[in-house]
Amino acid sequence: MRIFTSDYIFPVVSDPIRDGYVMTDDEGYVLKMGAARELNPPALSVAEYFPGAIVPGFVNAHCHIELSHLRGAFKKGSGMSGFINQINALRESVDRNGRINALEAEMRSLYRQGVSAMADISNCDESFECKSHSPMYTRTFIEVFGTDPAETESIIEGARELAREAEEMDLDAAPTPHSCYTMCPELLQAASAAGLKSGFLSYHSQESGQEEELIRYGTGELAENYKGRGLPTPPVTGGSALKYFIDNLRKVLRSPIKGHVLLVHNVVIDEESIDYAKEWLRSPYFAVCPLSNIFIHNQLPPLDLMREKGLKITIGTDSLSSNDSLCIVDEMKCIQDNFPSIPFAEILKWATANGAEFLAKEDLLGSFEAGKKPGIVNIEGFDVQGMKLSEKSSSVRIL
Ligand SMILES: [Zn+2]
Alpha helices in 270-315 (DSSP H): 271-280, 290-297, 303-308
Q: What is the pLDDT of residue 161?
A: 98
Higher pLDDT, 84 or 61: 61
Contact between 5 and 47 under an 8 Å Cβ cutoff? The reply is yes
Instruction: Read off the pTM.
Output: 0.98
**122 CA to middle of ligand 1, Å?**
10
Q: What is the pLDDT of residue 41?
A: 96
Q: What is the pLDDT of residue 281?
A: 98
**343 CA to middle of ligand 1, Å?**
26
Q: What is the pLDDT of residue 40?
A: 96
**35 CA to middle of ligand 1, Å?**
40
**63 CA to middle of ligand 1, Å?**
6
The CATH number given to 58-326 is: 3.20.20.140
**318 CA to middle of ligand 1, Å?**
5
Q: What is the pLDDT of residue 208?
A: 97
**208 CA to middle of ligand 1, Å?**
13
Spatial neighbors of 57 by CB under 8 A, at least 6 apart, are 114, 115, 116, 117, 352, 365, 366, 374, 375, 376, 377, 397
**109 CA to middle of ligand 1, Å?**
19
The residue-averaged pLDDT of 70-89 equals 93
**207 CA to middle of ligand 1, Å?**
9
Strands (E) across 64-136 are located at 115-122
The residue-averaged pLDDT of 84-112 equals 95
With 0-12 CB in 10 A as exposed, 13-18 as middle and 19+ as buried, what is 232? Answer: exposed
**319 CA to middle of ligand 1, Å?**
7
CATH architecture of 1-57+366-399: Roll (2.30)
The residue-averaged pLDDT of 208-216 equals 97
**93 CA to middle of ligand 1, Å?**
19
Return the domain boundaries, the chain: 1-57+366-399, 58-326
Angle between helices 185-196 and 241-252 (to 10 degrees): 60
**128 CA to middle of ligand 1, Å?**
18
**178 CA to middle of ligand 1, Å?**
8
The residue-averaged pLDDT of 82-95 equals 92
**398 CA to middle of ligand 1, Å?**
29
* pLDDT tens-digit readout, 1-40: 999 999 999 999 999 999 999 999 999 999 999 999 999 9
**387 CA to middle of ligand 1, Å?**
31
Q: What is the pLDDT of residue 324?
A: 97
The residue-averaged pLDDT of 179-206 equals 98
The residue-averaged pLDDT of 128-157 equals 98
H-run or E-run covering 334 = helix 328-338
Q: What is the pLDDT of residue 19?
A: 98
**73 CA to middle of ligand 1, Å?**
16
Q: What is the pLDDT of residue 263?
A: 98
**366 CA to middle of ligand 1, Å?**
22
Residue type, 118: M
**212 CA to middle of ligand 1, Å?**
17
**121 CA to middle of ligand 1, Å?**
7
- Distance, in Å, from the CA atom of 145 to the CA atom of 61, rounded to the nearest integer, reads 20
* pLDDT tens-digit readout, 306-325: 999 999 999 999 999 999 99
**150 CA to middle of ligand 1, Å?**
25
Work out the mean pLDDT of the chain and round it to a whole number: 97
**152 CA to middle of ligand 1, Å?**
21
**309 CA to middle of ligand 1, Å?**
24
Contact between 358 and 61 under an 8 Å Cβ cutoff? The reply is yes
The residue-averaged pLDDT of 248-265 equals 97
* pLDDT tens-digit readout, 344-370: 999 999 999 999 999 999 999 999 999
Q: What is the pLDDT of residue 245?
A: 98
Q: What is the pLDDT of residue 359?
A: 99
**289 CA to middle of ligand 1, Å?**
9
Euclidean distance between the first and the last CA atom of the chain, given in angstroms as a whole number: 12
Strands 257-265 and 200-205: parallel
pLDDT band per the 50, 70, 90 thresholds, residue 156: very high
**62 CA to middle of ligand 1, Å?**
6
